[in-house]
Structure 1
Amino acid sequence: MKKLLNTLYVTSEGAYLHKDGETIAVDIDGATRARAPAHLLGQIVCFRQTAMSPALMAFASEAGISVAFLGYSGKLLARVEGPQTGNVLLRRAQHRATDADAALPVARAMVAAKIANARALLRRHLRDYPGTEGADAVDRAQRALDFTARHALIAPDLDTLRGREGEAGHGYWQIFGHLIRNDESTFVFSGRNRRPPRDAVNAVLSFLYVLLSLDTRAACETHGLDPQMGFLHRDRPGRMSLALDLMEELRAPIADRVCLSLINRRQLKAQDFRYEETGAVLLSDNGRDTVLRAYQERKRSELTHTWLGERVALGLLPQIQAQLLARHLRGDIDAYPAWIWG
């Protein structure tokens, strides 16, 4: 089983990263403040005004360590990548399989798993908070998601499937606020909004989805898949459609779960957010660091993979699912086994 590698998140303004022997050093104001063994890293994610030596960029490219530069809001600004790897025959198979008719079986599995995993999150809430306010609405929603997931598996075409996904998403976000057990006015949730997020809950969700998308994109590239050629998401210039596809079944168990845990455990406070004149709500420096720590901790937690039957770290799921998809495209397994949160 592949080892879960760490991600080095650099959030300090003006930090300078460089290679020092077998470690990656982070300098701030001319002094080395942190070091990380290079062989334990799979990604480096830099926020705001961060600099990196050309030698480190070259080393990371050769070592397969992906490097991403993000703006304050978490928007991806740039990536540093080495030469493309992977079997061209695999990519040809992927391109054939993502044609509208051929893409349907994989897309069905992804959407059904996404809905099933969202339902699992609601069921966990009902188990942990039985009889609380909103429990009846959550129960109705999880039953509706079960119905929609079953129908997603038999959708006759991609448009119908996307309609089922939208229907499930509407019902899920409609009751998401009932999952929040923090009565601070900061965390009132009235629906999903983004680009930019306009409340604290959506600010956390959007930031976590950026982090998760970096992981799924890296997984695609690791296993020789084209991250822009997806099964469910439509082609669009610059869109990482396959990375977004692989995210779908992981949103609720990783990103949404982290968001709810941080808010319900009161690890995030009102002062952990910035309110812009434009109406955008962003995480503060401290808030972002809190979310990053929780995200890393969640990725280290283990569960039994429903298809492999092995204990794996949650952070390995993007890699595992990308590998299983590649095996399906090569003809090693008959169908793509989407991950179901048991």
Structure 2
Amino acid sequence: MKPLLNTLFITTEGVYLNLNGDTIVIQKEKKVLARFPLHNFEQITVFGYTGASPALMQKCAEQNIVLNFMTPGGRFMARVIGKTNGNVLLRKEQYRCSDDEKKSLLYAQGFLVGKIYNSRWILERMLRDHSDRIEVERFRQGSMQLKQACRDIMQSESLDILRGIEGKSAKAYFSLFDAMILQQKEDFFFTERNRRPPLDRMNCLLSFLYALLANDAGAALEGVGLDSYVGFLHRDRPGRNSLALDLMEELRPVMADRLALALVNRKSICSQDFREESSGAVLLTDDGRKKVLKAWHDMKEGTVKHPYLKETVKWGLVPHTQALLLARALRGDLDAYPPFLWK
């Protein structure tokens, strides 16, 4: 349970939310775990199935406090809102910004600066921790190239230029990805990013983790009242969660790529956890999926100091904090969207 940005996040499973006067009471098996004054919050997000009392839901609706229900894994289930709510105004501003290339550019710059900055620090960590096992000069050059790309991103004047810089940066980063695979080299390798379908085990693992991250990003955006299908960098396409893809860009390196490398380098996953189809597609087996899902859940339970909020949060809450910051930027409460910059 942690208050952040006027939002109460409840991540303890098996709890029930009750109302006592103007206080929210968190209970588990009839034992009171915590109490919070309701007026302190604009939003309450619960990860679990047990639920909340009708009295609390009514009180939240009356006071325009959004009550979100997520599965323990972070999948969006439902939202309780009152008769009047700022989500309509927020979404209208989101749609206006999406239709305005100059405004879209500002948000897209934030997402991609976060992605390239975080990718660079993946390389820097390799230089720090494994300099005896990698080609140091190649990694230094790659790091400098990504550092310059961050500057170029902020000076770009169109989304097309932005995408060109992002493409070159991704090529530079992924050209070093195979060198970051330090174990099981015969079974796990990376030559290029491929998908739909993935054609090797590493791409299969990355694609699965990216899908999990996209789901979490979409749920986080829906939780703050944004439309996860209307993006700024990724443009509208039927059935595509464009804003979720935008938001996850800065989180790919630190939440998905790092975990994929850790699973392989720690030998937590092996070649037997994959199968190859006759078409050449490589898929996770049932046991392989279970291993990755457990690792994903364990990673989200870990903590990190949020670079903007300066507070320690669970990794699983990072998409939610970024969605809240994005909503605040769109409302005009922040001068600009602050990307998640890991180091």
TM-score range, shorter chain: 0.7 to 0.9
TM-score by length of 1: 0.78
Call closer, same or farther: CA 1:302–1:202 in 2, change over 3 Å: same
Q: Deviations over 1:7-46 (max 9, x none)?
A: 99xxxxxxxxxxxxx99xxxxxxxxxxxxxxx6428xxxx
Call closer, same or farther: CA 1:166–1:190 in 2, change over 3 Å: same
| Aligned equivalent of 1:234 | 235
- 1:5 matched to 2:6? The reply is no
Distance 1:205 1:168 in 2: 18
Distance 2:332 2:145 in 1: 35
- Give the alignment of 1:85-100 within 5 angstroms: 87-98=87-98, 99-100=100-101
- Give the alignment of 1:164-175 within 5 angstroms: 164-175=165-176
Amino acid corresponding to residue 9 of structure 2 in structure 1: K
Distance 1:264 1:127 in 2: 16
| Aligned equivalent of 1:55 | none
- 1:276 matched to 2:277? The reply is yes
Call closer, same or farther: CA 1:212–1:6 in 2, change over 3 Å: farther
Call closer, same or farther: CA 1:144–1:4 in 2, change over 3 Å: farther
User: How many aligned residue pairs are there?
Assistant: 286
Amino acid corresponding to residue 92 of structure 2 in structure 1: R
Call closer, same or farther: CA 1:80–1:125 in 2, change over 3 Å: closer
Contact 1:4/1:316 (CA < 8 Å) preserved in 2? no
Give the drift of 1:136. Answer: 2.3
Give the drift of 1:139. Answer: 1.9
Contact 2:124/2:143 (CA < 8 Å) preserved in 1? yes
Distance 1:140 1:265 in 2: 27
Call closer, same or farther: CA 1:7–1:111 in 2, change over 3 Å: farther
- 1:41 matched to 2:42? The reply is no
| Aligned equivalent of 1:182 | 183
Give the drift of 1:271. Answer: 0.5
Aligned partner of residue 308 in structure 1, secondary structure: coil
Give the drift of 1:195. Answer: 0.4
- 1:197 matched to 2:198? The reply is yes
Gaps of 5+ in 2: 15-27, 30-45, 50-66
Gaps of 5+ in 1: 9-21, 24-38, 43-61, 69-78
Distance 2:136 2:76 in 1: 46
Call closer, same or farther: CA 1:145–1:63 in 2, change over 3 Å: closer
User: Which stretch shows the higher mean deviation, 101-110 or 126-135?
Assistant: 126-135
Contact 1:67/1:81 (CA < 8 Å) preserved in 2? no
Give the drift of 1:235. Answer: 1.1
Amino acid corresponding to residue 252 of structure 1 in structure 2: P
User: Which stretch shows the higher mean deviation, 315-324 or 128-137?
Assistant: 128-137
Q: Deviations over 1:182-201 (max 9, x none)?
A: 14311021111100100000
Distance 2:13 2:203 in 1: 23
Aligned partner of residue 242 in structure 1, secondary structure: helix
Give the drift of 1:290. Answer: 1.1
| Aligned equivalent of 1:289 | 290
Aligned partner of residue 303 in structure 1, secondary structure: strand
Contact 2:214/2:248 (CA < 8 Å) preserved in 1? yes
Distance 2:154 2:13 in 1: 35
Amino acid corresponding to residue 337 of structure 2 in structure 1: Y
| Aligned equivalent of 1:253 | 254
Distance 2:13 2:243 in 1: 21
| Aligned equivalent of 2:307 | 306
- 1:64 matched to 2:65? The reply is no
Distance 1:295 1:208 in 2: 8
Distance 1:80 1:252 in 2: 23
Contact 2:232/2:243 (CA < 8 Å) preserved in 1? yes
Amino acid corresponding to residue 324 of structure 1 in structure 2: L
Call closer, same or farther: CA 1:321–1:41 in 2, change over 3 Å: same
Distance 1:123 1:135 in 2: 10
Aligned partner of residue 3 in structure 1, secondary structure: strand
Distance 1:67 1:316 in 2: 12
Q: Deviations over 1:130-163 (max 9, x none)?
A: 1323332222111111111111111111110111
Contact 1:272/1:284 (CA < 8 Å) preserved in 2? yes
| Aligned equivalent of 2:267 | 266
Contact 1:4/1:315 (CA < 8 Å) preserved in 2? no
User: Which stretch shows the higher mean deviation, 180-189 or 273-282?
Assistant: 180-189
Aligned partner of residue 217 in structure 2, secondary structure: helix
User: Which stretch shows the higher mean deviation, 241-250 or 101-110?
Assistant: 101-110
Aligned partner of residue 176 in structure 2, secondary structure: helix
Give the drift of 1:83. Answer: 6.7
Contact 1:67/1:80 (CA < 8 Å) preserved in 2? no
Distance 1:281 1:132 in 2: 28
Q: Deviations over 1:49-97 (max 9, x none)?
A: xxxxxxxxxxxxx9623599xxxxxxxxxx9854796610000011111
Amino acid corresponding to residue 134 of structure 1 in structure 2: E
Call closer, same or farther: CA 1:266–1:312 in 2, change over 3 Å: same
